Amino acid sequence: MEQGLIQVYCGPGKGKTTAAIGLGIRALGSNLKVIMIQFLKNDNTGECRLLKTLEPGFKVFHFEKERGFTWTLTDEEKSELAQEIHMALKFAKKVMDTGECDILILDEVLGVIEKGFADVKDLQSLVEEKPEFMELVVTGRVLPDVLKDKVDYISYIEAVKHPMEKGVMAREGIEY
């Protein structure tokens, strides 16, 4: 790929990760290599089980131990999580430095910034140091203002209606 751009899928609506994975699958269909690093998630989802079958063209990495939701963690667990996130961000930098993929997806990296597990400067430096040929895809709810002028695409996904409002919990194969 001659010109890699920076894409953001953000907002409170459902489908940000799904959109990023869809882009990755499209790229894989054109023989591009994809690496996705997932933050604040585990690999026990339908999409991760399927994506394992697409290796080595589409690889997914997790650096965090499986825990509960961030708001249920102890201070010690939050500190451990912040260290794991730091390792994942260092790995993202290594991927960029070595150019081992055409598309790098940082799924829910905006969430780690929003929740204070990483500084926006960490993501800002990745954005600024992205290799020319590499496409960078970033997901999460809130895009910090400091990054808005540095990215090429911003897709805002709005939640107009969600079954959770009626008490319907996440369903396997649909929401995870």
171 within some domain: no
pLDDT score recorded for residue 87:
97
172 within some domain: no
Q: Which pTM was predicted?
A: 0.92
The token duo for 12 is 């409170």
122 within some domain: yes
pLDDT score recorded for residue 174:
80
Q: Is 140 left (phi over 0), alpha (psi -120 to 50) or beta?
A: left
38 within some domain: yes
40 within some domain: yes
Q: How confident is the model at residue 164 (pLDDT cuts 50, 70, 90)?
A: confident
d(CA 25, CA 28): 5
CATH at residue 37: 3.40.50.300
| Span 60-114, pLDDT tens digits | 999 988 877 777 788 888 889 999 999 999 999 999 999 999 999 999 999 999 9
| Span 62-74, pLDDT tens digits | 998 887 777 778 8
Mean pLDDT of 146-161: 95
Geometric angle at alpha carbon 166, from 161 and 168, rounded to 5°: 100
Residue 43 has pLDDT above 90, yes or no: no
46 within some domain: yes
The mean of the pLDDT values for the chain is 93
Number of domains making up the chain: 1
- Residue 31: which domain range? 6-166
pLDDT score recorded for residue 108:
97
| Span 11-27, pLDDT tens digits | 999 999 999 999 999 99
Mean pLDDT of 151-160: 95
Query: Measuring CA to CA, which residue among 117, 107, 120 is closest to residue 7?
Result: 107
**Which residues have a Cβ under 8 Å from the Cβ of 51 and sit 6 or more positions away?**
21, 36, 58, 60
Q: How confident is the model at residue 157 (pLDDT cuts 50, 70, 90)?
A: very high
173 within some domain: no
176 within some domain: no
Residue in the structure block whose two tokens are 């990215």: 151
